Amino acid sequence: MRDGWQRLSPPGHWDWHVPTPFSQGWRAGNLVFTGGQLSADADGNVIGRGDIAVQTRNVFESLTRVLAEAGATWEHVVKLNTYYVYDGAPEDAQRFWEQMSAVRFDYLPDPGPAATAVRVAGLMYDGFLIEAEAVAVLP
């Protein structure tokens, strides 16, 4: 492992259901990079199937745990990338995004990080509605 780098893997955190070389995150000096977090249980099963608010809360709780293991909080996050799946009626798309964002805003300080939210056709497996990753800078 590189000097000064810390692999992040919080105890009891969800993990991939097949062996992979991926990490939940890394701390490299004063930088913290989280891996993309999903609303999954320890076996990789979807939690909150069909419910964007439940999935968003689970994803942001997972991000919180990965950040905490590195000694970071949401106050340290400078970049947030969110990918979400919506394939419903066009007239309901904004309401869906607002439900997701209302939960995200529970975690973000004011002023918040630079952020991107991208609507995608799908994620790792059917049923996942959101994946998010963050970059933090520690003092």
Which amino acid makes up residue 27? R
For residue 135, which phi and psi values (nearest 5 degrees)? -125, 130
Token pair of 48, please?
């909150």
Reply yes or no on whether the pLDDT at 7 is more than 60: yes
pTM, to two decimals: 0.89
**Domain 24-137 class, CATH top level:** alpha beta
52-99 pLDDT per residue, tens? 999 999 999 999 999 999 999 999 999 999 999 999 999 999 999 999
pLDDT, tens digit (0-9, with 9 covering 90-100), for 28-50: 999 999 999 999 987 788 999 99
Q: For position 38, what pLDDT does the model report?
A: 94
Looking at the DSSP bridge assignments, the partners of residue 77 are: 136
- The answer for residues whose C-beta is within 8 angstroms of residue 85's C-beta and 6 or more apart is 119, 120, 121, 122, 123, 128, 129, 130
Q: Compute CA 45 distance to the chain's CA centroid, rounded to the nearest angstrom.
A: 16
